[in-house]
Amino acid sequence: MLRGKNVVVGITGGISAYKSCELVRSLVRDGAEVRCAMTRNAERFITPLTLQTLSGNKVASNLFDLTSESEIGHIKIADDADVVVVAPASASFIGKIASGIADSLLATVILATKAPVIICPAMNSNMYSNSIVQENMEKLRRHGFTIVEPGEGDLACGWTGRGRLAETDVIALEIQKAVTPQDYAGENILVSAGATREHIDPVRFISNPSTGKMGYSIARAGWLRGARATLVSGHSSLPDPHGVEVVRATNCDDMYEKIHERFERAHIVIKSAAVSDYSPCERSEQKIKKSEKQLSISLKKTRDILKSLGEEKKDRILVGFAAETENLVNNSREKLDEKNLDLIVANDVTAPQAGFGEDTNIAWLVDRERVEELPLMSKFELANRILDRIKEIDRR
């Protein structure tokens, strides 16, 4: 995901400097060329040798080291960067950058680069909430810097509160977004995912094996490409995608209401949730006892969320999914017309590595002009292929 990208990781003085090692390793694993730049105070917490070993590149720290400057000067580091991230960023360093003070090699790199800059604050919670620090961060935001908010929890100083360095995977996602073309900037995307549960009694329900992986991947891919993404999620054990507004839904009726509440402000709606087609006519308020050899349950059809959206779509792009076991393309074309959709993503749930719960999928993209069969790929890669096709449809 970051292959061929030059990422400069800046480290300032703070106890969470040790976490930069994990970040550097993560970026290298993702294919990035990582160069580290440290302040002199950062060297009190972690050695340059450690970062050099993990990154595979010499660490820059001394603005007046003539040997290092002759090999690769700080301006070249700034010029070559695709993105600069400072993790951790101390209150002192944030204040200096906000004031344009370049008294260290790292500060000089940040002020000289034309690349996106990501600041990851880490400090005592009282320092973080101080109005001066908040004003400095707001000033950086106005100048186009991305601020990755710190997490909340136990701090090294013994306090509990907001101020701990954001998790490595969150910082890595912000870095990935910074180097991803923002072709969905300004778009509102509404995605549904996961399985609904139609309860028979308090402990039993009708559902399906959907994990939500496909829909969560679409929401994450949309956010990475600049969209404001909202995810209406049925049951799923996946963590909330960073940067995405997540709304929980239980059964079909609940999902119907929550999608329709947000439908008006969305231009692109992608319904990948696996919604139960039937629900019990009556729900028992008490657990049904195991007393009879047989139990009959009367079922009724649930509301067709996708069809209802097609009736109201106007100029929106509406995408549906078809989990099939046969006649994928023909069934998808019928669904396209029946529900007034722009695109169907069809997949054979019986195919190896392409069913519920898998990290990969094989899909057919069916719209009104063409059918494209895609090979086995990760669901995140498929999510981006779907977004690419939506862009193509939107331009027609």
Last residue of a domain, one of 178, 196, 230: 178
Domain match, 173 and 219 both: no
Q: Mean of the pLDDT values across residues 142-170?
A: 87
Last residue of a domain, one of 122, 143, 178: 178
33 forms beta bridges with 6
pTM: predicted TM-score of the whole model, two decimal places: 0.92
Model pLDDT, residue 152: 83
Last residue of a domain, one of 124, 157, 178: 178
Helices (H), 168-267: 168-178, 213-224, 252-263
User: What is the number of structural domains in the chain?
Assistant: 2
Confidence at 275, pLDDT banded by 50, 70, 90: very high
What separation, in Å, do the N-terminal and C-terminal C-alpha atoms of the chain show? 29
Tokens describing residue 135:
């004003």
pLDDT tens, 30-53? 999 999 999 999 999 999 999 999
Domain match, 116 and 209 both: no
DSSP H or E run through 334: helix 328-338
Model pLDDT, residue 326: 81
Model pLDDT, residue 68: 59
Domain match, 196 and 94 both: no
Tokens describing residue 319:
């995408």
Nearest-angstrom CA–CA distance, 243 and 380: 16
In a domain, 21, yes or no: yes
CA atoms within 13 A on the CB side of 347: 26
Contact 76, 9 (CB under 8 A): no
Model pLDDT, residue 64: 62
Contact 113, 78 (CB under 8 A): yes
Q: Mean of the pLDDT values across residues 60-86?
A: 79
> Which amino acids are annotated catalytic?
157
Model pLDDT, residue 53: 97
Nearest-angstrom CA–CA distance, 264 and 109: 44
**Pick the residue with more confidence: 354 or 90?**
90
Beta strand 360-361 with 377-378 is antiparallel
As to burial, measured by CB atoms within 10 angstroms (0-12 exposed, 13-18 middle, 19+ buried), residue 300 is exposed
Q: Which domain holds residue 330?
A: 188-395
